Amino acid sequence: MKAVLEKVEVKDEGSIAAFNFNRDRFDAPWHFHPEIELTYILESKGMRYVGNSIEIFTPGDLVLLGSNLPHCWVNDDRHGSRASSLVIQWPAIIFNNIPEFQQIMRLQREAERGLKFTSESYPDIVGAMKAMISESPIKRYISLIEMLESLSIAPKTYLAGASYTSDLSTDTNNKIDQVQSFVANHYHEKIKLLDVASVVNMSEQSFSRFFSKVMNRPFFVFLNEYRVHLASRLLLETDLQVAEIGYKCGYESLPFFYTQFKKFKTYKPLEFRKMYRKI
């Protein structure tokens, strides 16, 4: 599977694309496009990759992605639900050199690292995104202005780290895509550095330097982060024992599982389950 420059298509004479993605799964690979993108997840669960960020996505997930920021959504195949999302895409230049849009332009610059909004931030955004799909080009433009003005003052968190810099070369993106696929298919097994380095035809030393540079973290930190995210889902969505969850997620040592879980989630596994099941 090869990362690609995605061409965003607009079906009418406008410059803003608005649509409801609805398929069996999110099938876009690790990709990027010049257009800025706002995505709201209606249905499906899995892992969201944005720049050097890796996080779980669930229904209600709202993110804003800047121009040429690599990203993809990978479904969790344990869930049989369809992949459905609302997507708005537009070229950044439609707000250029207009003083009244300074706040929106600042939001677009912040989105170069990807932004995630809390559910309290967008009570009216989802309805507006749905309405934009059938609006005329001029009404769609007005709706986008109102939406971005609201999001510009809403609570938000960055996705990619502050030191993230994008390398858009096909070779780099292809390698990262291969690593993501390998981890998704083998996270429950014992993974050696040689195993994953071989997938991208690199030596262990070269792969370690490459991955740390692109993702701003060593490979095994990335792997533990991935496993802990999966473990947190199992803690909240199943009644499996903590030990069984640790083993299912690829941990051979329970003390190490506990250590890594607390590192990424602040709480111990049982504390995490008790706290978030109350919410």
Gap between the terminal Cα atoms of the chain: 39
What are 78's two structure tokens?
Answer: 């344990």
Residues 133 and 210 occupy one common structural domain: no
Residue 257 in any domain: the answer is yes
259 Cβ contact partners less than 8 Å away, ≥ 6 residues apart: none
Residues 144 and 218 occupy one common structural domain: no
Residue 232 in any domain: the answer is yes
Of residues 192 and 82, more confidence is placed in 192
Local structure of 122: helix, strand or coil = coil
Which residues does residue 4 pair with via DSSP β-bridges, in sequence order?
Answer: 31
Of residues 174 and 187, more confidence is placed in 187
pLDDT band per the 50, 70, 90 thresholds, residue 237: confident
Of 98, 87, 97, 106, give the one whose Cα is nearest residue 144: 87
Residues 153 and 32 occupy one common structural domain: yes
Return the percentage of the chain with pLDDT > 70, whole number. 91
pLDDT band per the 50, 70, 90 thresholds, residue 4: very low
What are 199's two structure tokens?
Answer: 């997938």
- What CATH number does residue 249 fall under? 1.10.10.60
Task: Report the pLDDT value the prediction gives residue 198, as an integer from 0 to 100.
Answer: 96
pLDDT band per the 50, 70, 90 thresholds, residue 10: low
What are 7's two structure tokens?
Answer: 């061409």
Residue 171 in any domain: the answer is no
Which residues does residue 41 pair with via DSSP β-bridges, in sequence order?
Answer: 85
Residues 148 and 225 occupy one common structural domain: no
Residues 86 and 38 occupy one common structural domain: yes
Domain range spanning residue 44? 4-158
Domain final position from 158, 174, 195: 158
Residue 172 in any domain: the answer is no
According to DSSP, residue 258 is labeled H
Burial of residue 224 (number of CB atoms within 10 Å: 0-12, 13-18, 19+): buried
Residues 137 and 243 occupy one common structural domain: no
Output the average pLDDT for the chain. Answer: 88
Cα separations in angstroms, 243 against 250, 266, 273: 11, 18, 13
The pLDDT tens digits of the residues spanning 204-236 come to 999 999 999 888 889 999 999 999 999 998 998
Residues 196 and 151 occupy one common structural domain: no
Residues 23 and 96 occupy one common structural domain: yes
According to DSSP, residue 158 is labeled E
The total domain count for the chain is 2
Q: What is the pTM of this model?
A: 0.77
Residue 241 in any domain: the answer is yes
Task: Report the pLDDT value the prediction gives residue 78, as an integer from 0 to 100.
Answer: 63
Residue 73 in any domain: the answer is yes
Residue 179 in any domain: the answer is no
Residues 129 and 231 occupy one common structural domain: no
Query: What's the gap between Cα 5 and its chain centre?
Result: 17
Local structure of 78: helix, strand or coil = coil
Of residues 8 and 113, more confidence is placed in 113
The pLDDT tens digits of the residues spanning 145-182 come to 999 999 999 999 999 887 777 766 778 878 888 998 89
What are 54's two structure tokens?
Answer: 């890796």
pLDDT band per the 50, 70, 90 thresholds, residue 8: low
Residues 40 and 20: beta-carbon distance below 8 Å: no
Tell the residue number behind the tokens 């947190």, with chain if given: 232
Residue 182 in any domain: the answer is no
